[in-house]
Amino acid sequence: MLTPQSNTTLEEIARFIEAHDTFAICGHVNPDGDCLGAGLALEHGLRALGKQVTGLLATEDPVEEKLGFLPGLENLVPAKDFTDEVEVFIAIDVPNVERLKDAAAVHDRAKHHITIDHHASETSMAELNYVDPASASASDLAWELLKLLNATGKDQALCALTGIMTDTGRFSYQNVNPTCFIHAAETVEAGAEPNLIAREFFQSRSLPSLRLEQLMLSRMMFFCGGAFVCSYLKDADFEEQGAIRDDAEILIDILRGIAGVRVALILKENGNGEIRGSLRAKDETDVAQIASDFGGGGHKAAAGLTYHKSLADALIEVPTDVIETCFPEDAEAEVERLCILIRSLREELDD
């Protein structure tokens, strides 16, 4: 079901694309497999139609190394380095201008704007706005659009299937629906190799990532009868283990996979004075509501946030919100226990 802000169809977007020539495509800051997969799939497809297309990155930060197999990834341009004018800016997998970061300036310079997304948002930033929260991934929507444009192909298929597989956790998350299986079959028929995606993305963890997992597991804190688990990583952990930030991306799913856990949270110092929080749910619990309380967002079962005070403060405020929102019957006693626990860790956290 489309959001109230949606005002078009994929068919209308396809006709609009056919009528224009120059495009910039960009997703959200810190792009994941779905964001990059959807954007690159569209980029390859529009180029196959003879369009002039530039794929952008919202910042100059490096993307996750495990996604380096995606065709065309090496040609993406940091948005701050792109000064050309384009007719159409396509925002993919991003709900608002703030999440475009440096690409917001390119968005503002463009004559026309299209948003294709599966994140519900109360605002819109495009004349053509298509947002379907029921879609398992933005790559599902990109693949549907490419079919309407008659612009599918092997590279498009690999990029789209990567987005579908990563955003559904290899078809294991609550967002899985029949459509994503249909699209997966279509992309494989078009030449995508699921084993390549599995090998390069899901089966290529670094030793530093495993060492971070060991630290995370040693710091697990369980609340509400084991239904809520929380852990954390410090900047020093990354430095001491020779790890990069991407090495920690998989860790939230380790916590979610623990038997009895309904909600999982990991808080990570981000090297710039910010704390990045990742939330996951295994049932109908809405963790996007928690993330939104801190200016973040996402989906009901998977959301993220950025926190701007200390790690110690984050480890009190964010878990408290989780407990009070998701487990109100246990809130008073569990929040008190949380505060006592974090106070006992204050020296370590401030070190």
Using DSSP's 3-state secondary structure scheme, residue 125 falls into coil
d(CA 162, CA 332): 43
pLDDT above 90 (res 123): no
| Residue-averaged pLDDT of the chain | 95
Contacts of 83 (CB under 8 A, 6+ apart): none
pLDDT tens digit sequence for 225-275 = 999 999 999 999 999 999 999 899 999 999 999 999 999 999 999 988 899
pLDDT above 90 (res 161): yes
pLDDT above 90 (res 348): no
Is there a contact between 324 and 290 (Cβ–Cβ < 8 Å)?
Answer: no
Nearest to 187 by CA among 155, 219, 222, 228: 155
* More confident site: 297 or 324: 324
Using DSSP's 3-state secondary structure scheme, residue 233 falls into strand
DSSP for 59-96, written as a single string: SSSPPPGGGTTSTTGGG-EEGGG-----SEEEEES--S
pLDDT value, residue 101 = 94
113: which strand partners?
A: 89
The arrangement of strands across the sheet holding 112-117 comes to 77-78, 52-57, 22-26, 88-92, 112-117, 128-131
Is there a contact between 79 and 91 (Cβ–Cβ < 8 Å)?
Answer: no
pLDDT value, residue 248 = 95
pLDDT above 80 (res 35): yes
Count of all residues that appear for the chain in the document: 351
pLDDT value, residue 120 = 85
pLDDT value, residue 280 = 97
pLDDT above 80 (res 351): no
pLDDT value, residue 299 = 87
pLDDT above 90 (res 160): yes
Q: Which helix (H) or strand (E) holds 220?
A: none
Say if pTM beats, i.e. exceeds, 0.75.
Answer: yes
d(CA 219, CA 5): 42
- How much is the average pLDDT of 77-103? 95
The confidence band for 10, taking pLDDT boundaries of 50, 70 and 90, is: very high
The confidence band for 345, taking pLDDT boundaries of 50, 70 and 90, is: very high
pLDDT value, residue 122 = 81
Question: Strand 52-57 and strand 22-26: pairing?
Answer: parallel
User: Measured on CA atoms in the order 10, 139, 69, 95, is the torsion positive or negative?
Assistant: positive
Quote the crossing angle between the two packed helices 154-167 and 178-189, to the nearest 10°.
150
pLDDT tens digit sequence for 276-313 = 999 999 999 999 999 999 988 888 999 999 999 999 99
d(CA 109, CA 91): 14
The confidence band for 166, taking pLDDT boundaries of 50, 70 and 90, is: very high
- How many helices and strands in the chain, by DSSP H and E? 14, 12
pLDDT value, residue 350 = 78
pLDDT above 90 (res 59): yes
pLDDT value, residue 1 = 80
Is there a contact between 164 and 35 (Cβ–Cβ < 8 Å)?
Answer: no
Ordered by where they begin, the domains of the chain are: 10-202 (3.90.1640.10), 207-350 (3.10.310.30)
Token pair in block for residue 254: 């380790």
- How much is the average pLDDT of 40-48? 98
Is there a contact between 118 and 141 (Cβ–Cβ < 8 Å)?
Answer: yes
Token pair in block for residue 32: 């994941």
